Every structure is written in structure tokens, then in C-alpha cells.
Amino acid sequence: MAVLAPPAPRVRQSRRTFGTIGDVHSELLDSDLGAAFRAGHEDALAEAYRRWSRLVHATALRATGDAEDAADITQAVFVNAWRGHATYRPEAGSLPGWLMTITRRRIADHWESRSREARTRTAVEAVAPAQEHAPAEVDRIATQMVLADELDRLGDPARRIVRMAFYDDLTHRQIADQLQMPIGTVKSHIRRSLDRLRARMVVDDAAL
């Protein structure tokens, strides 16, 4: 049977010969991948994992503080997502947004089971409902990781410049000095990068 091949990752960069596609940083557009994922192409699962497993895992790791739990949650998220691939609706939100929704549920389940264990252990002892603060806290962690993820995707020199501004606490002048770059270039990288981080934050928050 002739089966249509799943959309293989393609090098978008070469499309620039048409001069019409701006700052495309992914090989395969996320929207294409979302459609292929929904349609159940197994390559799409591998590609989604390649793109977003670090985001899912980092969120779980920071939320639980435990490497083993984080690995279990990451596995559960992708297994759940794949089993429910037909329920993903690309028009309702991005695939990473959807994966992060599942991640937050799995983290909540994890805490719920931990608090059940704690209640069992302490028997009659009154135990305050554990992790009441959890959802808001997980939201915050998820947003942090989404930003870290997007920062990772910026590409140099923008990524390097933003890291220097965020984590090395350098001014744009100091960055321009260190990288021997015109001040205006550094400033425009900062501006455009913050805009892009903001856009991703809004999109993924909306999806959560």
C-alpha cells in the first residue's frame, strides 16, 4: 500500500532562497508537527519529544526536585499525549502548550499521591492538605521553563546577549564591549528577543 510518508523534518533555511520567510528557526513548523502528531504519525512523536522533552522534564524536575520522579513524569506525559493524540486540537493551542497542560496534571497527580502516602503514614495525625499552593507554583515554574526553552531557541548572537543581560547582569554597553559589537546591534537584539520571549509566554499561558 502506498502510504503518504509522514512530513519529514526539512531544512527550512534553504527556503530562504525565496526571500519571503523571515526568522524561521525550526526545521519543520510547529503547526505542521502538531497536525502530524494529531494524525498519529510516529515520527511526529519522536520529533515532539526531541523538541519539548527538555521543557517537560525541566518543569517536572523543578516542581518535584527529584530526578527519578521527573523522569517518570516526563515518560507519563509523552505516553499520555501519544495515546490521546487524536484529542489534540491544533486550532485550540500549540502542541507544546498542550504537552505542558498534561505535564501540570501529571505533576498535580504526583503531589496528590505523595500527600495520600503522607496521610497514610501519619495515620490519625492531622495532616494539612499538602501542596495547596501547588497549581500556582507549577504555573510559575512552567512559565519559567517555557522562557528558558524559548531563550534556548533564540540562536546566537541573540541568545548569548540575552544570557549576558539576564544572568551576568551586564549592561548593553558592557555586552557590546565584550562581544565587540555595535551598541545599536546589541540593543536591537535585546529588544527583539524580549518581544519574542513575551510572545511565547503569552501563547503558552493562553494554552495552559
Residues from 8 through 37 that contact other proteins (CB under 8 A)? 8-12, 14-15, 17-22, 24, 28-29, 31-32, 35-36
CB 180 to other proteins: min, Å: 16
**Cα gap 11→28, rounded to integer Å:** 7
Q: Which stretch binds other proteins (CB under 8 A): 100-108, 110-118, 120-128, 140-148?
A: 140-148
Cβ contact 23:29 at 8 Å? no
Name which position in 100, 102, 176, 197 contacts other proteins (CB under 8 A): 197
**Cα gap 204→202, rounded to integer Å:** 6
The footprint of other proteins on residues 149-178 (CB under 8 A) is 149, 151-152, 156, 159-160, 162-163, 165-167, 169, 171-172
- Our finding on whether 41 is near other proteins (CB under 8 A) is yes
Q: Which stretch binds other proteins (CB under 8 A): 62-70, 103-111, 115-123, 126-134?
A: 62-70
Number of residues that bind other proteins (CB under 8 A): 88
- Our finding on whether 47 is near other proteins (CB under 8 A) is yes
Give the residue from 167, 168, 172, 174 showing the smallest Cα distance to 148. 167
- Our finding on whether 104 is near other proteins (CB under 8 A) is no
Count other C-beta atoms under 10 Å from residue 190's C-beta.
17
Give the residue from 123, 145, 141, 144 showing the smallest Cα distance to 133. 141
**Cα gap 85→89, rounded to integer Å:** 9
Count other C-beta atoms under 10 Å from residue 204's C-beta.
23
